[in-house]
Each structure stands twice: as structure tokens, then as C-alpha cells.
Amino acid sequence: MTDDSRLTRTEARNIRNARDLEAHITWLDSITGTALGVLAVASGIYTYLGVSSLLDDNGALSVFAALAYSVAVSVGIFVFWSYMMRLVPAVQTAAARIGLGLSMILGSLAIVAMSSWLNAAALAGAAAVEQHLATTVQQYQTALERSDEITQSAQSLALDVARVRQSFDDLSEQEATGQLSGFAGQGAVFRLLRQKSDELAALEAQITAQQPLVEQAFAEGNASLSRMRALTVDHGPVEARSVPFSEEAVRLANVITQLRQLSVAPLVNRAAADLTDAVVLPSLDGSDSSTRAGQQATIDSVLSVLQQRAQTLQAAAQNVLAMPPPVDISYTQISAADAVILYAGNFIPSWAGAIAIDLLPAVLVLILAVTQAAIRAGRDGTAVGDSMTLSELRAAVSAIQEMDISLDRTEARVIKISDKTAAE
């Protein structure tokens, strides 16, 4: 070998590194198939658990269907990543790498669609359903508190009604002593004031009578919420707890509806409108025209005050009516898989684990691709003979010697046959 054909130190070092990498890959190939099989089987097991949670029937056919699906997933994962591990590191052109890269991305998405979300359902399905129960309890609690707030605000209108009633009581007392119209007694003005005072007193009594009903309904709602919270954190299968939870949800929804119906704000609003719209004017009973004129003037003043009080009371009632009602809540049972998807943000570690068990071989594919590229880079620019090891050279020399011996034997046979043919 001439000086020009000798390897530089850098080339020799690159060849040694390439040989070391090839030795490592040879050893790793012996365990890669087993490791990939274990990952595929593990993913298949969790896929089976996820599929089982979706099937309502627990019969033999359902078990067989879930088992068949999980086996198909395991085989698909094993075959797909086996293809990728063999082909991606081997290709060298940019077009081939892009094509296989896109194929690997598409296959990874398919694996996530057919396996990873079911794995997540198996890992965190029960916790996700419990999260759904807890969220539902919180929503019902918000609706119950909002309904009670609106109803209690309506009950507080009793103070406004009492204040207006008291003003008419005071005016009637003043009229009885002659301080309004100037004529003492219980005449037309007094009767008008007492008429409106009695109407407001009846409304006030009706509002007060509903307070125990409101408190009872709110207490029943809190009791249902307590039972629902207990079911959320109770032991045992979450599917079994979902049935009594649903019953309590229906009962609580009825309580919320009852609270909304107990609101007296519409009643107060109508009563305030009736204060001025439904006025029965008494006949003037003054003994002379001067007295009757005084009564009429006082009645006109009372009607004006009555309209002001009615507007104030109606505004208070409309403020209650304008309060945003609680959001309608309806509890719906969901499967573990649906719950995992619905509350995916609360179970990021479970999703990460479910996806990682399926897509971890992608990291191995990238490692092999980088390693093979490093091996090719280490051997680029060197002749085949320069990159051969001593054992490879010995094997090549031995092969050449065997070929020479075989050629000599073949040549000897040909000569012998030729001599025999010539002698004949």
C-alpha cells in the first residue's frame, strides 16, 4: 500500500467509531424485538380494559370482541414500528426520508386514535368519572345557591311591602284625626287608605308564609348535595355509585325548580301594578260641598302618593326579576372513555403515559436513524478494504484460499477428463 493510499488518523478514527456503533447496534438488535413486543402487549392489555369499559354487555361475545380488538392493536403496533425501525435508518435520499417521516406521523396518529385514548380510559377512567360527578355536584350547588339567592331576594320584598303598608296605615290614622282632609272620622279618604293598606297586608302575610317553605326547600337541596358528595368519594365501582347519584340529581333538580317557583317577585310586581290600576274609589260622604271638595282633593293627593309608592315597589320587584336565573343543570351518565376525553386537562399525566407507551418506539427509530447516519459518515470516502477488521481480513483470505483450492480441483478434473477423452 502506497503512502497516498494510507488512511489518515481522522479516517481511521471514524472507521473505529463506525465499527463500535455497528457492534452496539448488533447487540441491541437482539433485545429490540423483545422490548417492542412487550410494549405492544402492554398497550394491548390497557386497550382491552378500555374497550371493556365501553361495552355494556359482559357476555362471552363482548369479551371476545374486546380481546380481538386488543390483539389487533398489539399486532399493528409491533408490525408498524418494526417497519419503521428497519426502513427509516436505512434510507439515504431526502425524498425517502420525508416519505417515511410522513408515514410515521400518520401511523402514530392512527395508533393514538385506536389505542392511546383507550389506554388513558383504562388508566384514569374511574377517576375521570368521579371528576364528572364532582363537577356535576359543583354545578348543582351553584344552581341551588343561585336559586335560593333569587328567592331570598324576593322574600326581602316583604320589607318594601311593609314599608308601603305602614305609610298607608299612618295616613289613615292621620285622616281619622282630620289631619289630611281637615275632617275627622272614617270617611271616603279613610276607607281608600285602609283599602290599600289591607291589600298590602295580605300580600305581606303571603310572603311571610312562604319563608318556611323556602328554607325547607333549601335544606332539602343541601341534604341532596351532601349525599351526592358522599357518593362521589365513596368506595366501590363508580358505575354502581352513578345510579343513586342520578336519583339524587333528579331530586335536587326538582328542589331547584321548586325554589324558583317559590319566588314572590312576580306576585309583588303584579300587586304593585294593581295598587294604581285597581282602585275602587269610595263615594264622597261629606255633608256639604265644601267637605266633599276637601275629600276629593285629599283623594287626588292619596292617589298621587299611591302611584309613587307603587312605582317604588314595582321597581324593587323588577330588580329581583332581572337577576340572572341559574343555569339549567342536567346530569348525564358518561363512560370512562368519554370522561377521560371530556376532562383531559385534569389527567395530563395519564394521557402522557397512555401515549408514551404507544409512541416510545418512535424515539428508538430516531436513535437508530442517527446512529446509522453516523456509521455511514464514518465510512464515507474509504475503500472497502480499508474499513475491514483483522478478523474480516482473515476470513477474506481464508475464503480466497478455499476458492483457489476449489479452482485447482476443478482444473485437475478437467485435465483428467481431457486426457481420458484423448486416450480413447
Output DSSP code: residue 92: -
Residue with grid cell 284625626, as numbered in its chain: 177
Residue 403 confidence (pLDDT): 77
Helices vs. strands in the chain: H and E counts, helices first:
12, 0
What is the tens place of the pLDDT at every residue in 43-102?
Answer: 999 888 888 877 766 677 778 888 899 999 999 999 999 999 888 888 888 888 899 999
Candidate from 116-120, 256-260, 383-387, 408-412 with smallest mean pLDDT: 383-387
Q: Are residues 260 and 381 in the same domain?
A: no
Cβ–Cβ < 8 Å for 38, 401: no
Residue 223 confidence (pLDDT): 92
What is the tens place of the pLDDT at every residue in 274-329?
Answer: 766 544 445 555 555 555 555 556 666 666 667 777 788 888 888 888 888 888 88
**Bigger pLDDT: 406 or 240?**
240
Mean pLDDT of 388-415: 68
Q: Count Cα atoms within 13 angstroms, Cβ side, for 310.
A: 19
| Residue 171 counted as domain residue | yes
| Distance in angstroms (rounded) separating the CA atoms of residues 146 and 327 | 9
Q: Are residues 279 and 165 in the same domain?
A: yes
H or E stretch covering 361: helix 348-379
Cβ–Cβ < 8 Å for 231, 244: yes
Q: Are residues 13 and 92 in the same domain?
A: yes
What is the tens place of the pLDDT at every residue in 133-180?
Answer: 999 999 999 999 999 999 998 888 888 888 877 877 777 776 666 655
The model's confidence at residue 330, banded by pLDDT at 50, 70 and 90, is: confident
Q: Are residues 120 and 134 in the same domain?
A: no
As for how many domains the chain has, the answer is 3
Q: What is the 3-state secondary structure (H, E, C) of 268-308?
A: HHHHHHHHHHCCCCCCCCCCCHHHHHHHHHHHHHHHHHHHH
Mean pLDDT of 176-185: 58
| Distance in angstroms (rounded) separating the CA atoms of residues 361 and 80 | 10
| Distance in angstroms (rounded) separating the CA atoms of residues 385 and 392 | 9
Q: Are residues 94 and 174 in the same domain?
A: no
Residue with grid cell 446509522, as numbered in its chain: 372
Residue 179 confidence (pLDDT): 56
| Residue 160 counted as domain residue | yes
Q: Are residues 421 and 303 in the same domain?
A: no
| Residue 65 counted as domain residue | yes
| Residue 162 counted as domain residue | yes
Q: Count Cα atoms within 13 angstroms, Cβ side, for 279.
A: 21
Residue 280 confidence (pLDDT): 45
| Residue 321 counted as domain residue | yes
Q: Assign residue 142 the CATH number of its domain.
A: 1.20.1260
Cβ–Cβ < 8 Å for 104, 362: yes
| Residue 169 counted as domain residue | yes
| Distance in angstroms (rounded) separating the CA atoms of residues 123 and 46 | 8
| Distance in angstroms (rounded) separating the CA atoms of residues 163 and 40 | 78
| Distance in angstroms (rounded) separating the CA atoms of residues 321 and 150 | 8
What is the tens place of the pLDDT at every residue in 201-222?
Answer: 888 888 888 889 999 999 999 9
| Distance in angstroms (rounded) separating the CA atoms of residues 368 and 80 | 15
Query: Above 70 in pLDDT, residue 400?
Result: yes
Percentage of the chain with pLDDT > 70? 75
Three-state DSSP class for residue 383: coil
Of 335, 357, 378, the residue that ends a domain is 335
Mean pLDDT of the residues in the chain: 79
Q: Are residues 162 and 269 in the same domain?
A: yes
Q: Are residues 135 and 249 in the same domain?
A: yes
Residue 84 belongs to what domain range? 9-125+347-389
The model's confidence at residue 263, banded by pLDDT at 50, 70 and 90, is: confident
Residue with grid cell 404507544, as numbered in its chain: 358
Mean pLDDT of 324-349: 85
**Bigger pLDDT: 191 or 320?**
320
Residue 278 confidence (pLDDT): 46
The model's confidence at residue 378, banded by pLDDT at 50, 70 and 90, is: low
Give the burial class of 45: count Cβ atoms within 10 A of its Cβ; 0-12 exposed, 13-18 middle, 19 or more buried.
middle
Set of cell numbers at residue 144: 341551588
Q: Are residues 104 and 140 in the same domain?
A: no
Cβ–Cβ < 8 Å for 372, 28: no
Q: Count Cα atoms within 13 angstroms, Cβ side, for 58.
A: 2
Q: Are residues 292 and 373 in the same domain?
A: no
Q: Are residues 274 and 396 in the same domain?
A: no
Residue 236 confidence (pLDDT): 77
Residue 349 confidence (pLDDT): 85
Query: Above 60 in pLDDT, residue 113?
Result: yes
Give the burial class of 276: count Cβ atoms within 10 A of its Cβ; 0-12 exposed, 13-18 middle, 19 or more buried.
middle
| Residue 342 counted as domain residue | no
Q: Are residues 357 and 402 in the same domain?
A: no
| Residue 3 counted as domain residue | no
